[in-house]
Amino acid sequence: MPFGLKLRRTRRYNVLSKNCFVTRIRLLDSNVIECTLSVESTGQECLEAVAQRLELRETHYFGLWFLSKSQQARWVELEKPLKKHLDKFANEPLLFFGVMFYVPNVSWLQQEATRYQYYLQVKKDVLEGRLRCTLEQVIRLAGLAVQADFGDYNQFDSQDFLREYVLFPMDLALEEAVLEELTQKVAQEHKAHSGILPAEAELMYINEVERLDGFGQEIFPVKDNHGNSVHLGIFFMGIFVSNRIGRQAVIYR
């Protein structure tokens, strides 16, 4: 797919001709790329163009999603023409690349590039508060993330850079003194991981996250046949149903 072309901008899309359009895709590292497609191109073709840019071969774990007109996250139906799909359902033609199918164990992932994107996704799940963590788990994960993203502790004259780095889940409300104390604990955790290669630290991070409650689950609020509110979830073991009171979930493998 061609990239970096000079484009004319319209209200909704950058347009090269009546038969082509350019859509933006936000990657898991927060960078945004543009993909030039024909108006008949499917979501799968767009996903493959993104995978080519990222040098990904194991594309079957990943998907593209967008925000609907009601601001709900919705997966792209990959077999359908993408432009028609976005015109009909999307709030704007901005796509998000991410993991669609989680695995029970990271050892299933064969390619290093796949494991790196998977690491970015699970780290995002933690930092955006989608997974519940204790403070001890938060500190341990943050220390591994710093090792994976920045390398060894002794490369830095001080650990002041940690104050500019997102270490803790966004829903964790911390007073300044507590935040400073936890940041120092993360620095010590980082020091303890000196000598571990970034790729190894990423695997250790993923292994920690795999043990967290809710890992790999996508949950939807629905009504049962009596009109009661329940949660319908999907994950790598199958489908599960739970109510809001917290009874044991019923799993359909």
- Of residues 159 and 102, more confidently modeled: 102
* Each residue's pLDDT tens digit, 183-223: 999 999 999 999 999 999 999 999 999 999 999 999 888 99
Q: Report d(CA 79, CA 62) in Å as an integer.
A: 14
Check: CB of residue 117 under 8 Å from CB of residue 28.
yes
Give 193's Cβ-side CA count (13 Å radius).
Answer: 30
Give residue-wise pLDDT tens across range 44-62.
999 999 999 999 999 999 9
Q: Which of 19-23, 118-122, 153-157, 241-245 has the lowest mean pLDDT?
A: 241-245
Rounded CA separation 66/192 (Å): 39
Nearest to 21 by CA among 34, 32, 75, 210: 34
Question: What is the pairing mode between strands 20-26 and 32-38?
Answer: antiparallel
What integer is the mean pLDDT of 121-147?
A: 95
pLDDT, one tens digit per residue, over 125-134 is 999 999 999 9
Q: Which of 15-24, 151-160, 227-236 shows the lowest mean pLDDT across its residues?
A: 15-24
State residue 104 phi and psi, 5-degree precision.
-65, -30
